[in-house]
Amino acid sequence: MEAVEYDLMDAAEEAMWWYRAMHARAIAAFRAHPRLGAAKGLPVLDAGCGTGGFLRRAGAALAIPMVGLEYNPQAARRAAEKAGVDVTAGSVNTMPFHDGQFGGLFSLDVLCHAGAEPAQMLAECRRVLAPGGVMVLNLPALPWLRSAHDARVFTVRRYTRATITAELQAAGFTDIRARYWNALLLPLMILQRKVLAARADAPSDVTNFPPWLDACLFAATRIEAGMMRAGLRFPAGGSVIVSATRP
């Protein structure tokens, strides 16, 4: 990403509704996976950890040792300071870790990035996970939703449930669960991306929202999460959350 996008992320990821909602969905998907605990006792990797907001939040919520990997050395340093854990500067395509080193793995909005080679990255994720280890990915959904913000953060792939499931199966993962989320806000997302901020030089979606608006948007994601826990599956959404196991 551009340096300014790392700065925006660093400033916003603790409080902005989007980050709080994405982090909550990822943690919930990890906890709900049927194989959770099969590789108990090993640390958990955040592959592409950015400036460390999720590292800190997941470590506190799950009470498990976390390790970070981030391509940008300056962002890696920020992440280590923010989360208080070890963060290595390196590529998700050639991870500098041993085989089977981790009992779990998160990677949030990374596989979609221009710098990620999907088949190579997924092979590396499988390699560094111990047998039975659970992986959780969050990805931007629906290719037709590509926007100026995607270009700013070098997102070159948006996924459907079917496409990410097929990629994970080809990479040798099992117990795959893929669900759309950010569905209730999808109409507003379409309006923002395709009408209000459709020009190529539109500013980043990561910004400071008025407190009342941020609270309303986050409340919508909380309502949606409750609906998902009750068994509702949305046919579309702005993102797709995926969990899978290394057999």
pLDDT at 148: 83
H helix runs in the chain, sequence order: 3-12, 17-32, 53-62, 73-83, 118-128, 148-152, 161-170, 186-191, 211-229
pLDDT at 199: 66
Q: Can you tell me the distance from the alpha carbon of 125 to that of 94, in angstroms, rounded to the nearest whole number?
A: 10
pLDDT in tens, the chain (247 residues): 667 888 888 888 999 999 999 999 999 999 999 877 767 789 999 999 999 999 999 999 999 999 999 999 999 999 999 999 999 999 999 999 999 999 999 999 999 999 999 999 999 999 999 999 999 999 999 999 998 888 888 899 999 999 999 999 999 999 999 999 999 999 999 998 888 666 666 666 667 789 999 999 999 999 999 999 999 999 999 999 999 999 9
- List domains and CATH numbers for the chain: 3-246 (3.40.50.150)
pLDDT at 127: 98
